[in-house]
Amino acid sequence: MFKKLIKESTGKSPWLFHINAGSCNGCDIELVSVLTPRYDAERLGFQLTGSPRHADIVVVTGPVTAQSLDRVLRTISQVPEPRCIVTMGSCPQSGNVFRGSYAIAGPLSKYVHVDVDVAGCTPKPEAVIDGLVLATKILEEKRGQMK
């Protein structure tokens, strides 16, 4: 009985952990705005958590800098399996305008499997919500495969 209750409750309320890997804060502001009453992603169950150990979905913003790479990978490894990794914005996907710089170690997909890419610089709130919903579906599939 408790296993069924836990499965149903965690499937409907994925917790997000946000990692800033050196961004300009444009995507960070959009992620926070998605959770405010105007777009209200919390009605879909999304909540930010303060610890990667409590998260289901990791949202990474910013180009992965050489200085932040180790911290980003260490933080992602602390998120329990199954987890879903979402890159938000063009920077973690390609480096954007910072590509080729000596300070950029990205894209993130070079180091870990990325499940969802939310494109844009900065992505629209609707695209962010769509990406998070897609990540929830992928997370549900991963949980089903773990049985």
In the chain, the domains with their CATH numbers are 15-145 (3.40.50.12280)
Vertex 18: Cα angle to 73 and 91 (nearest 5): 70
Distances (CA, A) of 74 to 13, 14, 71, 103, 112: 24, 21, 5, 19, 11
Residue 67 has pLDDT above 80, yes or no: yes
Residue 77 has pLDDT above 80, yes or no: yes
**SS3 assignment, position 62:** coil
Please give the residue that has the higher pLDDT: either 19 or 10.
19
Across the chain, mean pLDDT equals 86
What is this structure's pTM?
Answer: 0.87
52 in Cβ contact with 78 (< 8 Å): yes
Structure confidence by residue, pLDDT tens digits, 117-127: 998 888 999 99
Residue 75 has pLDDT above 80, yes or no: yes
- Nearest-angstrom CA–CA distance, 45 and 9: 10
pLDDT at position 100, please?
79
Residue 9 has pLDDT above 90, yes or no: no
pLDDT at position 93, please?
85
Instruction: Give buried/exposed letters for 85-106 (b at 16+ CB in 10 A, else e).
Output: bbbbbbbbbbbbebeeeeebbb
Structure confidence by residue, pLDDT tens digits, 35-59: 888 888 888 888 889 899 999 999 9
pLDDT at position 116, please?
94
pLDDT at position 105, please?
87
Residue 129 has pLDDT above 80, yes or no: yes
Task: Give 25's contacts (C-beta < 8 A, 6+ positions apart).
Answer: none
Residue 71 has pLDDT above 90, yes or no: yes
